[in-house]
């Protein structure tokens, strides 16, 4: 599934890796996606609960990276199919979603977030640093949620552009903010920005960044999120490639300093 080789390996020391978090660093199939399905089910009075495939179809449109907005859109479409208008506020949707995702306890111990399996490891990021590759994160998650998972990886004071810091994907502003901050932290000039994500919106972000800031080379790396079953992986790979992925990997852990990058 890995396609290789068009960026010269000597550029590695002038490249940075920017990571999405959900579906890349952590498995959110039993947390964010479960909360999304719960929210839609709740506000349709248990008449409709979207399947993982239906959520993927919505996200394939490339504009529903925010799961609160995705929940609202699926609720809206359900009622429209009945010839009705949605009768619930966005604020109510967010509140219910968060009650499932974060839970009710102040430490979030009863929320779905507390059960998220980690995909990446502390060692993985240590090896990137040893290889001289700067890295950071651009995520549509809230800063609190993103920080929660990064602390679990013992990542302290990371470069992190979260929901509160920039416009949502596929707007490239957040990606470029992250890149600039990593450059400053590294103290050297960057030539190649590698962005790693699991959705169509992530890939479209790179496409827009090429137009917005053409002084960099970009590599769009897609990864297959854990919720995608084996029989649908080829289809998901094709979807990411159709929307700009330069390569598609089974896991973020396959993206190593030794891997030849393809652009």
Per-residue pLDDT tens over the stretch 24-68: 999 999 999 999 999 999 999 999 999 999 999 999 998 998 999
Q: What is the pLDDT of residues 100-146, one digit of tens each?
A: 999 999 999 999 999 999 999 999 999 999 998 999 999 999 999 99
Q: What is the pLDDT of residues 153-175, one digit of tens each?
A: 999 899 999 999 999 999 999 99
Q: Would you say residue 10 has pLDDT above 70?
A: no
Question: Other C-beta atoms within 10 Å of 16: how many?
Answer: 25
Cβ-contact 194, 175 below 8 angstroms: no
Instruction: pLDDT band for 218, please (50, 70, 90 cuts).
Output: very high
How many CA atoms are closer than 13 Å to the CA of 161, on its beta-carbon side? 23
Cβ-contact 193, 16 below 8 angstroms: yes
Instruction: pLDDT band for 261, please (50, 70, 90 cuts).
Output: low
Q: Would you say residue 1 has pLDDT above 80?
A: no
Strand partners, 223: 249
- What b/e sequence results for 210-244 when a residue is b if at least 16 CB atoms lie within 10 Å of its CB, and e otherwise? eeebeeebbbbbbbbbbbbeeeeeeebbebbbebb
What tokens appear for 130 in the block? 């040893």
The whole-chain average pLDDT of the chain stands at: 92
Q: Residue 155 has what pLDDT?
A: 95
Cβ-contact 142, 163 below 8 angstroms: yes
């Amino acid at each position: 599934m890995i396609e290789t080789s068009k960026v010269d390996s000597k550029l590695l020391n002038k490249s940075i890796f920017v990571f999405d978090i959900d579906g890349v660093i952590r498995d959110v199939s039993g947390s964010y996606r479960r909360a999304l399905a719960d929210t839609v089910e709740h506000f349709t009075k248990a008449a409709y609960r979207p399947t993982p495939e239906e959520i993927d179809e919505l996200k394939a449109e490339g504009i529903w990276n925010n799961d609160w907005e995705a929940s609202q859109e699926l609720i809206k479409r359900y009622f429209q199919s009945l010839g009705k208008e949605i009768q619930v506020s966005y604020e109510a949707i967010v509140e219910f979603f968060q009650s499932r995702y974060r839970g009710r306890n102040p430490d979030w111990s009863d929320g779905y977030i507390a059960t998220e399996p980690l995909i990446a490891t502390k060692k993985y990021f240590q090896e990137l640093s040893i290889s001289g590759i700067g890295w950071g994160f651009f995520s549509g998650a809230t800063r609190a949620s993103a920080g929660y998972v990064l602390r679990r990886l013992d990542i302290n004071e990371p470069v992190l552009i979260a929901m509160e810091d920039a416009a949502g994907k596929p707007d490239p502003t957040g990606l470029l903010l992250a890149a600039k901050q990593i450059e400053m932290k590294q103290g050297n000039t960057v030539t190649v920005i590698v962005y790693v994500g699991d959705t169509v919106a992530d890939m479209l972000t790179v496409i827009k960044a090429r137009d917005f800031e053409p002084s960099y080379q970009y590599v769009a790396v897609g990864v297959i999120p854990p919720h995608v079953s084996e029989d649908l992986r080829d289809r998901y790979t094709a979807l990411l490639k159709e929307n700009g992925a330069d390569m598609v990997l089974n896991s973020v852990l396959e993206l190593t300093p030794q891997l030849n990058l393809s652009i």
